[in-house]
Amino acid sequence: MFWAVALAAPAFAQTDPLPSWNAGHAKARVVAFVTAVVEPGGKHYVPPGERIATFDNDGTLWAEQPMYFQFMFMLDRVKALAPQHPEWKSQEPFASVLKGDIKAALGGGERAVEEIMMATHAGMTTDAFEQTVKEWMATARHPVTRRPYTEMVYQPMLELLGYLRANGFKTYITSGGGVEFMRPWTEKVYGIPPEQVIGSSIRTKYEVRDGKPELVRLPEIDFIDDKAGKPVGIHKFIGKRPIAAFGNSDGDFQMLEWVTSALGPRLGLIVRHDDAEREFAYDRKSHIGRLDRALDEAGPRGWTVVSMKDDWKVIFAPPR
Amino acid sequence: MFWAVALAAPAFAQTDPLPSWNAGHAKARVVAFVTAVVEPGGKHYVPPGERIATFDNDGTLWAEQPMYFQFMFMLDRVKALAPQHPEWKSQEPFASVLKGDIKAALGGGERAVEEIMMATHAGMTTDAFEQTVKEWMATARHPVTRRPYTEMVYQPMLELLGYLRANGFKTYITSGGGVEFMRPWTEKVYGIPPEQVIGSSIRTKYEVRDGKPELVRLPEIDFIDDKAGKPVGIHKFIGKRPIAAFGNSDGDFQMLEWVTSALGPRLGLIVRHDDAEREFAYDRKSHIGRLDRALDEAGPRGWTVVSMKDDWKVIFAPPR
């Protein structure tokens, strides 16, 4: 694309908006896209209200290995709640979790995960759950790096979020993770306020207890924001088709497809985990963040594949 | 409240932000609230990110008599779709709708309404439905005033929306009406973009048809944004507790309760339809927009009741 390279030049000439990105195709593509859509009167101009960008979270904005961080939260909650549930000592999958045998706990498959999820994510008010998430985020540490989970975020992606917002984009999270697990900290960490976080959810119920209104979290799934659920969630919560989407796995395929198949300038980008030294390396065979079909189709569909190894100068954000 | 009156003065001294509102308690209360929450360092200061205001739509921002406007749309759609459904001629509730006998059509109660709703609101793509709504809005006329429905909006409420936004508020719609019936026109009419419209919804499904991704509307209820559903919807879509809520009926009771029972400065306001001459007069006995419990409890709960007759200089916005 000649115009892309040509338009990118002025932005570089001033201040580099993406200092943690190495020069290369990925960075040039991002800058060319942004420069083109903001140019008043330009052929590819997009008005600010339509500059919507959606980001997957796990593996795209922060790490997801060796396990989804929300899964770590779940396991910690089982341990914290165990004194109130003496029956868990002999009841699977809880008994195995309490013994530290995660593999055995997961022997029950999706049903086991859902059982642990509901036991730790439902039954309390939304306020109480928010408080629990905040406390956990403030104290829990990643098992490999020993850093707080909120520091396991990718510096180049933080720059990208800021760069898009500085150019009039509204940035959204569209994650398979729980929306109420993310909202308590996304504004501080990513600059994304609660109302711009879309995720999976369980139902809530409005109740007035002793004259005090509360929202209570029920053990029933409301919405799964993954795969074909992502375009559905985007439409449900935003009601507009984004012009840019960012993901890292086949769970983001339909979001990328939905966003980039519309007319007009579109950006689809995949973060590829190929840096075993500085982060983790995994793709087609991984049980978490599997990247297979989306990697095959990235080329023909014009999606930009970012190599964490080659395209990023640093991986994680510095400690706050 | 002494501070309220004292703080209100400077705003009036400059330009009246609510020219269609008569001086009185309701206007003073609104201005005092806004003035207080935006005062930097003030006792009641609220940071911009928390300045969330939620508005019911039917009967609060636009009229709802003699029938909800979406219901009029539904009836018109039955007529428009009838040639494709020859069986409707002898099948209730459609047969009665086609004969113009609405009362008979509604004899089937909620089930009849839901049947008409699904027949007219589901089965097409979201893009096609949006187009249908836009075309109807451009051509349909209110049965009493003969004005386009988008002109049946309340001028004083448009001023209130603008006044709040000028003071850093994010304004949302939280309506029992269909979210996809509202989103195509709320930005133009109210200045409220699609992503700030919360409403009732049916499920959608992501499909790729002949290589083209589409969202198809399914005949299944997803969410009812009314009564106790309003705080649930607010939490689901915004993830924050608003500081101001505006309604007109008992369907808004729980939203008003949820918003005004939290600590800190809060504004709850009810639009009362008491102007038979310029609009409609109805409250406790009405089948649409019944205002009964919320009217009784407005006083004790500190909610401001706006008399359309006494508080508003004009009712409807001028033609565009």
pLDDT reading at B5 higher than 60: no
Q: Contacts of residue B261 in chain A, CB cutoff 8 Å?
A: 212-213
Q: Do A240 and B194 touch (CB under 8 A)?
A: yes
Q: Identify whether the C-beta of residue A173 lies closer than 8 Å to the C-beta of residue A186.
A: yes
Closest to A156 (Cα-Cα) out of A144, A164, A148, A167: A164
Give the nearest chain A residue to B215 (CA atoms).
A232
Q: Identify whether the C-beta of residue B174 lies closer than 8 Å to the C-beta of residue B247.
A: no
Q: Which two tokens stand for residue A320?
A: 């706050």
A99 contact partners, CB below 8 Å, separation of at least 6: none
Give the nearest chain A residue to B226 (CA atoms).
A206
Q: Contacts of residue A179 in chain B, CB cutoff 8 Å?
A: 239
pLDDT reading at B6 higher than 50: no
Average pLDDT, chain B: 95
Q: Do A231 and B237 touch (CB under 8 A)?
A: no
DSSP letter at A146? -
DSSP letter at B149? G
B102 CA: distance to closest CA in chain A (Å)? 31
Q: Contacts of residue A208 in chain B, CB cutoff 8 Å?
A: 257
ipTM above 0.90, yes or no: yes
Q: For the segment B57-110, what is each residue's pLDDT rounded down to a tens digit?
A: 999 999 999 999 999 999 999 999 999 999 999 999 999 999 999 999 988 888
Q: For the segment B253-283, what is each residue's pLDDT rounded down to a tens digit?
A: 999 999 999 999 999 999 999 999 999 999 9
Of all residues in chain B, the percent with pLDDT exceeding 90 is 92
Identity (one letter) of the amino acid at A32?
A
Q: Which two tokens stand for residue B55?
A: 């508005």
Predicted confidence at residue A13, as pLDDT, reads 52
Predicted confidence at residue B14, as pLDDT, reads 67
Sign, CA torsion B85/B86/B92/B94: positive
**Does the model's pTM come out above 0.90?**
yes
pLDDT reading at B7 higher than 60: no
Sign, CA torsion A102/A108/A110/A113: negative
Q: Which two tokens stand for residue A48?
A: 């600010």
Predicted confidence at residue A36, as pLDDT, reads 98
Mean predicted confidence (pLDDT) in B30-53 = 97
DSSP letter at A267? E
Q: Do A228 and B235 touch (CB under 8 A)?
A: no
Helix (H) or strand (E) holding A270: strand A267-272
Predicted confidence at residue B1, as pLDDT, reads 39
Identify the residue among B236, B255, B257, B301 best suited for mutation to test binding to A, counting A beta carbons within 10 A and taking the highest: B236
Q: Identify whether the C-beta of residue A233 lies closer than 8 Å to the C-beta of residue A223.
A: yes
Q: Which residue has the higher pLDDT, B14 or A146?
A: A146
pLDDT tens-place values along chain A, 320 residues long: 444 444 444 544 568 999 999 999 999 999 999 999 999 999 999 999 999 999 999 999 999 999 999 999 999 999 999 999 999 999 999 999 999 999 999 888 889 999 999 999 999 999 999 999 999 999 999 999 999 999 999 999 999 999 999 999 999 999 999 999 999 999 999 999 999 999 999 999 999 999 999 999 999 999 999 999 999 999 999 999 999 999 999 999 999 999 999 999 999 999 999 999 999 999 999 989 999 999 999 999 999 999 999 999 999 998 87
Q: Identify whether the C-beta of residue B202 lies closer than 8 Å to the C-beta of residue B221.
A: yes
Q: Do B239 and A179 touch (CB under 8 A)?
A: yes
With residues binned 3-state (H G I as helix, E B as strand, rest as coil), the percentages for chain A, rounded to 5, are 50, 20, 35
Distance from the first to the final alpha carbon of chain B: 39
Confidence at B15, pLDDT banded by 50, 70, 90? confident
Predicted confidence at residue A319, as pLDDT, reads 84
